[in-house]
Amino acid sequence: MQKAQKIWDNLSRQYFNNFNDNEIELEAVENLYFAWPIIKKFIKKNIKNIKGERALDFGCGTGQICAELNSLGFITTGIDYSQGMIDVAKRKTDKRIHLYLGDSKKVVEVAKKEGSFDLIISILTFPFIEKIKPTIKDLHHSLTKGGYLCFAVFNENWVHEALNNNVDYERSPGSKGIKKLIFNFGKNRKVDVFHRSANEYNKIFTDLGCKKRLEEYPLFTKKFITKVYPKMPKNISEYMILGYQK
């Protein structure tokens, strides 16, 4: 964890912290405008009385999704293992949002002290965790019975195309396939990234007794993908969004 924490702390200083409070980084734009609407629709369909419900954004980064959850009426918590990200989130978000430094063990600790979560959201955090099963088990343990865990990861079809077109990804030394690659934020800011299929996630959650409630692949608008990802096909989603109920 310490190595990954250092990488994300450096990224927060070099990139994510270089925006004014009224500005937003590209990665957050993609999450807010293409992943979040699917998740928000899922929330409104499945949680009818939001006020007083507890929600967690796991891997909250600079806090944009925490702000969205808070605006919906959730008692909102954000957890991230980068102190730099938490510092930015504290500066940018409502003081009512509870923000903590830590990984999935911190989630378990907070759930034990403050109450289990009715909803856990995680957008593009799982791909940067090498050993995902223990993390998912901790999140599952921290959910209320009947609670929901909804997350977005990279779509494997997008990753194949991106790798072939030299967009964002590089191969790790000696690696084959796409299970472990290097994600390049630009200017030599790189971090390991791990890809898993829908079937792999389904098995983990099925083994935990969860029911799948969502699987979607939202496309970028033609204008956005032409401007930001001109090398990429317009009919493949960057995201795979899955939702499960405990």
pTM for the complete prediction?
0.91
The dihedral formed by the CA atoms of 7, 14, 62 and 87, expressed in degrees to the nearest 10: 90
Number of domains the chain contains? 1
- In which residue are the tokens 């496309």 written? 219
Residue 178: closest CA among 199, 190, 196: 196
Per-residue pLDDT tens over the stretch 189-238: 788 999 999 999 999 999 999 999 999 999 999 999 999 899 999 999 99
**What's 93's domain CATH number?**
3.40.50.150
Q: Give me the domain span that covers residue 219.
A: 2-245
Per-residue pLDDT tens over the stretch 84-101: 889 889 988 989 999 999
Burial of 38-69, coded b for 16+ CB within 10 Å and e otherwise, reads bbbebbeebbeebeebbbbbbbbbbbbbbbbb
